[in-house]
Amino acid sequence: MRRRCRVIEIQNESFLRSNERERRGKRRFEIEQEVRYKMLYGQRIAETGNGKTLNISSGGVWFSTESMLTTGMPVELSMTWPVLLNDNCPMKLMIYGCVVRSNESGAAVAIERYEFRTQGRNYPPVPHPGFEVQLPN
């Protein structure tokens, strides 16, 4: 069974002039990180690619793509979070949502849910008593 996302009509997002008001409901943050995306067709992966996030909010993400993505299709995004947990543990942000807009250079995804995953800790090696650790030069 193929899940299709509800497409949301997006108003023209031209650059704002000084006398215009921001109409977006969520604050966007300019976070530029490598991102991997998977377009989903039911339980199957229909397409994969790499890109770079350009901005992100709690409601959506805009990122560069290798090709135009199909509007309304479910997508999974994976990116390394730019801040370490407890200053030593890298995290990955997983975003699940739908493509709401796409062109030749990028796509907008409405976030349905997200989760942070840890990627292991960056602890230095701890020598065991009685053993000498030889680190490569």
State yes or no: pLDDT of 122 exceeds 80: no
CB 12 within 8 A of CB 20: no
- Give the mean model confidence (pLDDT) for residues 4-25: 47
Percent of the chain with pLDDT over 90: 51
Query: Six-digit token pair at 87?
Result: 């200053």
Answer yes or no: is pLDDT of 11 > 60.
no
| Domains identified in the chain and CATH numbers | 34-118 (2.40.10)
- Nearest-angstrom CA–CA distance, 65 and 106: 5
Cα–Cα distance list, 80 to 1, 16, 30, 74, 96 (Å): 31, 30, 15, 20, 15
The predicted model gives 21-43 an average pLDDT of: 83
Q: Are 123 and 86 in contact (CB under 8 A)?
A: no
Predicted model pTM:
0.70
Give the model's pLDDT for residue 129: 57
**Amino acid letter at 109?**
V
